[in-house]
A = this chain, B = another copy of it.
Amino acid sequence: MFKFTISKKLKNARVARFATPHGVIDTPAFIPVATKATIKTLDSNDVRNIGFNSILSNTYHLMLQPGADLVKKMGGLHNFMNWQGPIFTDSGGYQVFSLGKGLAYGVGKVCKKNNSAEASTNKKSLVKITDNGVEFRSHLDGKKIFLRPEDSIRIQEKLGADIIFAFDECTSPTDSRAYLEKSLERTHKWAERCLKAHKRKDQALFGIIQGGDYKKLREAGARFISALPFNGFGIGGSFGKKEMLNVLEWTIPFLPENKPRHMLGIGVIEDIFEAVGRGVDTFDCVEPTRLGRHGTLFTKSGRIRILSAKYRADKKPIEADCKCELCINYSRSYLHHLFKANEILGMRLATIHNLTFMHNLMKNIRQSIKSGKFNYFKSQFLRKFRQF
């Protein structure tokens, strides 16, 4: 039912086809995030038209609204949101971090490690972690929710994604080594409990490797998780560029060649190149869509902020050779106006553009590996694509 076939290797980078019950994912692939069963501002046809066949949704968000039982009753996530391609769901483990220490210490994923992370914010953690599971206070209504590994699996089975993840504790850069050791042990016990709880054979279960920024812990995590009969692996808890490179160096060598590797929450373009080069197959991240909604658009010459006054009377499209709905039909001037006027259409068109950019980028990355020119493509691309 699941088959992972590598067609080309170039050092650690690889091109593969990951067959799932709802279609084949050509990897390396970027998986756009449909947090609450929609990629914000887009419907399923929009996402298909851009070229994507796979998406990732968030278990935590969907269990709160509309609820896993409702989604199951509606025929599962595929039918509910009319998406007939592969779907990933995360396990809720990331929310253990983001609603817990992420909130309390002001640490974020996409916005990198907060330098003042040691200083606590005035926000309270919504999370209590025990060996048995995690108690959340819903960010919507404050209701208490207890999530054990078994619950996460049961919920993900109801949601019905093709690829689901084991419930883990995503640790924080603010955690001590002693805490990380304890947490890693807990994540490993949870991994075993998830495997035991998981019944649906039409779902691939991925184990998640944690271990913070410590070589020894990451290696221990990779060894332990990769020895379990998971269908694939997620690499979690990586914050910051340098940290991510370390995590990959310490983790990938221990993972079996013949199973897919997903990098959780990574999607900054520079990071994708690094991770692909080190053997990661799939990525999910809200960055391209979130940046789009805030008026930052990807071009081959870098990211542009459309609200800048210099685009006010700019008749050119965002990118001359881009074939997306935005670039074919509208000028930078029009998009500038839409953002200035707080028109939702601006967010939508920017989202479509950024996702088109990501889709083309991944296609070019796959092509560059196939033709043995990944490093050349990477350096050419990144030379033009400047960080803002």
Contact = CB atoms under 8 A, between A and B. Distances in A.
A119 interface: no
Interface stretch (A73-81, A171-179, A215-223): A73-81
A298 B361 CA distance: 42
A146 interface: no
Interface string A45-86: 100000000000000010001100010011100001110000
Interface stretch (A19-27, A198-206, A342-350): A342-350
A332 to B, nearest CB: 10
Given A65-B337, A66-B341, 13 more contacts: A38-B338, A41-B345, A43-B325, A45-B325, A61-B341, A70-B312, A70-B313, A74-B315, A74-B334, A80-B337, A81-B334, A82-B329, A82-B330
A312 B66 contact: yes
Contact of A37 (B81, B337, B344): B337
Contact size range, A: 35 or more
A345 B82 contact: no
A74 B331 contact: yes
Contact of A80 (B82, B334, B340, B341): B334
A70 B325 contact: no
Contact of A344 (B330, B333, B347): B347
B337 A43 contact: no
B66 A348 contact: no
A345 to B, nearest CB: 5
A348 B313 CA distance: 28
Contacts of A73: 313
Contacts of A329: 43-45, 82
A42 interface: yes
Contact of A43 (B42, B45, B336, B349): B349
Q: Report the copy number of this chain in the oligomer.
A: 2
A70 B311 CA distance: 12
Contacts of A336: 66
A163 to B, nearest CB: 22
Contacts of A290: none
A378 interface: no
Contact of A333 (B42, B70, B340): B70
A40 B329 CA distance: 17
A231 to B, nearest CB: 29
A66 B349 CA distance: 18
21 contacts: A36-B341, A36-B343, A38-B338, A38-B343, A38-B345, A41-B348, A42-B345, A43-B330, A43-B349, A65-B340, A65-B341, A66-B336, A66-B337, A70-B312, A70-B313, A74-B334, A75-B315, A80-B331, A80-B334, A82-B334, A344-B348
Interface string A339-369: 0110111011100000000000000000000
Nearest to A39: B345
Interface in A306-331: 312-313, 315, 325, 329-331
Contacts of A345: 38, 40-43
A74 B333 CA distance: 8
Nearest to A326: B43
A36 B45 CA distance: 26
Interface in A182-213: none
